[in-house]
Each structure stands twice: as structure tokens, then as C-alpha cells.
Structure 1
Amino acid sequence: MSTGLASQISDAVKAAMRAHDSTRLGTLRLLQAAIKQKAVDERVEPDDAAILAIIEKQVKQRRESIAAFESAGRTDSAAQERAELDILKEFLPQGASPEEIAAALDAAVAQAASQGLQGGAAMGAVMGQLKKALAGRADMAAVSAQVRARLNG
């Protein structure tokens, strides 16, 4: 792990060890394991974009777990997942503002319309463009809901 983001994560693991912060250390070790797994599976060293995708996936998993734990009334587990989510968010780029998201959405919908795309094809094209534009900077589930609303009405 020699990329910038990987070295930041490695430094954060060392700092968590020194501080005896078990929650932070455990979360970061899980993240490092996911990065290593990707490196082994693909036989290439993940770059920052690949590591960001891994972090986004883990953030999404934490959000889903929080929702599941809260609906089951397990507030202690939800709190643990929230703490892990906060740690993972530290490594994501600065979030996009609602105005940036709206502008990117407008541009992507306009481009799909100019190509004559409708329905599922338009949804796929718009989401593909937005994933590139907003990678790691927006909750793509929320963006997807906005795209669906815009395309359907």
C-alpha cells in the first residue's frame, strides 16, 4: 500500500495503536484488510480511486447496518456502527454541496435527453456520469432517488 490514501490509513492505524483507541484501530484494520483483499483478488496494487471505492462500500454497509440495528431496537450496535462510519468518513473527500449535486444532476439529465435516452437507459447513463462526477463526495443512494424523481416527473 504505497498510494497517498493507503499511507494515510496506515499512519492512522499507527496513531490509533499509540492512543490505544480500539474502535478506531479495529475499523481501520478492517479497512486495510479490504484493501489487501482487493490487491490479492486483482493482483494489482489499488490506487487512490480503488481505495475510495472500497471506503464508499464500507460506508454504505455501515449505513445499512445502522438502519437495520435501529429498526431492531439495538441502539448499542447502531452506536458502534455510527462510530465506525465517522472514522471511515474521515478518509472520504469533502462532501459535495447540494448546489454541486443539483448542477451535476442537471448536466447529466440534459446529456441523456440530448442522446434521446429514456427509462432505464437514461437512469443508467445519468448514474454512470454522476458516479464519476461525485465519486466519494455524495451519498449515491440519495442521488439515485433524486435522479429517479427527475426522470419520472
Structure 2
Amino acid sequence: MLRDSIKAAQISAMKAGDKPRLAAVRLILAKIKDRDIELRTAKDVPDDDALVIDILQKMVKQRRESIQLFDEGGRPERAAEEKAELEVIEEFLPAQMSEEETKAAIETIKTETGASGMKDMGKVMAELKARHGTQLDMGKASGWVKQALA
């Protein structure tokens, strides 16, 4: 399980004395704990690995946005900190699909669902997320789906 590998990474970072890595792993574990607390009252609890992957994907998106803003704001030292955290977070994500693989999956879904125009975008996006949600950045995939349906 992904949660166990993150906890193991925390222990190894503690033993190695790698403070930046330890801080990033602790951030991940804190986000997971927050989500666990939110889900205590939920009726449907998602699969544990899917939950952790969702959290990691959101953290990656936040880090990328922060890096861009820090670079634009002339704060390279803060951008470097965010990049270091981003690298640690991405270690735990499953291998991401390439652009070509994603476009091929979109075409497959498009033909299977009979999607022909922008009115079918929601249907294609829902199927894409159901099949490959953990393996791709849905923000980028959205643009590719628009291209395919245009």
C-alpha cells in the first residue's frame, strides 16, 4: 500500500537525517491524516490507494502553481524549496501516462462512447478519469479532450 511506503520513507529520512525530505514526507502524512478525519463521517470511503493518490496529485498541482508564482515574484529560494518538495511528492505517484498514451486513450474512449462534439466532453472526461485518473494530470487531459472533440 502507498500509505505504508510513505511511512517507511519517513522512517528512512529520520534515520538518514535528511531534514528537507523528512519535512516533505511529514507534509504528505499530515494531508492524509486531514483527509482521514474528513472521511470519518462520510458514507462512501474511497479505496485507500486512490485516496492517497488523489491527495498527492492535489499537492503536486499546488506545488507547481507555487513554483510558477515564486519564479514570477523573484523568489528563487522559495521556488527551489517547492521544487524539492515536488520531487519527493512525485516519488510516491504511480508512473504518469505520456502525452501520446493519453491521446490514444482519449481516442479510444471517444470511439467507444460515440462522442462527436463538445457536448460529449463530460462523458469522455468521466470515462477517462474512471479508467486512468491515477495515471494522468486531468488538467492537461482536459485540453487534449477539447482538441479531440473540436
The TM-score with structure 2 as length reference comes to 0.87
Tell me which residue corresponds to 1:104.
Answer: 105
- 1:54-83 Cα deviation digits (max 9, x unpaired): 111111111111111112121111111111
1:94 paired with 2:95, answer yes
Q: Residue 94 of structure 1 aligns to a residue in which SS?
A: coil
1:35 paired with 2:29, answer no
| Counterpart Cα distance in 2 of 1:80 and 1:136 | 25
Tell me which residue corresponds to 1:143.
Answer: 141
| Counterpart Cα distance in 1 of 2:15 and 2:64 | 28
Letter aligned with residue 31 of structure 1: I
Question: 1:115 offset after TM fit, Å?
Answer: 5.7
Tell me which residue corresponds to 1:53.
Answer: 54
Letter aligned with residue 106 of structure 1: E
Report which stretch shifted further, 12-21 or 94-103. Answer: 94-103
| Counterpart Cα distance in 2 of 1:45 and 1:150 | 30
2:12 to 3, 12, 15: 15
Q: What stretches of structure 2 of length at least 5 have no aligned partner? A: none
**Is the 8 Å Cα contact of residues 103 and 144 (structure 2) preserved in structure 1?**
no
Q: What stretches of structure 1 of length at least 5 have no aligned partner? A: none
**Is the 8 Å Cα contact of residues 62 and 85 (structure 1) preserved in structure 2?**
yes
- Between the aligned residues of both structures, percent identity stands at 40
- Greater helix fraction, Structure 1 or Structure 2: 2
- 1:4-52 Cα deviation digits (max 9, x unpaired): 1111000000111111111111111111111111111111696111111
**Is the 8 Å Cα contact of residues 5 and 48 (structure 1) preserved in structure 2?**
yes
Q: Residue 89 of structure 2 aligns to a residue in which SS?
A: helix
- 1:79-108 Cα deviation digits (max 9, x unpaired): 111111110111111121333212111022
**What RMSD over aligned residues (CA atoms) do the two structures have, in Å?**
1.9
Distance 1:30 1:46, change over 3 A: farther
1:133 to 131, 134, 142: 131
Letter aligned with residue 66 of structure 1: I
Tell me which residue corresponds to 2:75.
Answer: 74
**Matched length:** 146
**Is the 8 Å Cα contact of residues 10 and 26 (structure 2) preserved in structure 1?**
yes
Letter aligned with residue 89 of structure 2: L
| Counterpart Cα distance in 2 of 1:26 and 1:45 | 27
